[in-house]
Amino acid sequence: MKHTIDAKRLLCPMPVIRLGEMIDTVDKGDLIEMLATDPGVLHDIPAWCKVHGHKVLEITQKSDEIILLVEKIG
């Protein structure tokens, strides 16, 4: 199942906090699409996923929007 987090206009650390909150509510194998505008997510989300055992499948940048696709592994 795919879930979406709208973290546009939120600054660090809020996108990471929102991902942490959602990842606890979804099933293993579910995908979370994060929509963000803070370029800090390009480093912060992959680093958080590495520490917590999840996987960033894709990062896409469209003008001022960043879209990250995260898979819940554990």
Q: What is the DSSP letter of 23?
A: H
Q: What is the mean pLDDT of residues 56-60?
A: 98
Residue among 3, 8, 10, 12 flagged as catalytic: 12
CATH value at residue 33? 3.30.110.40
Strands 2-7, 65-71: pairing is unpaired
Taking a C-beta distance cutoff of 8 angstroms, is the pair 44, 15 a contact? yes
pLDDT band, residue 74 (cuts 50/70/90): confident
Cβ-based burial of 60 (10 A; exposed 0-12, middle 13-18, buried ≥19): exposed
What total number of domains does the chain contain? Answer: 1
Q: Which domain holds residue 26?
A: 2-71
For the chain, the average pLDDT equals 97
12 is catalytic: yes
Rounded to two decimals, the pTM is 0.95
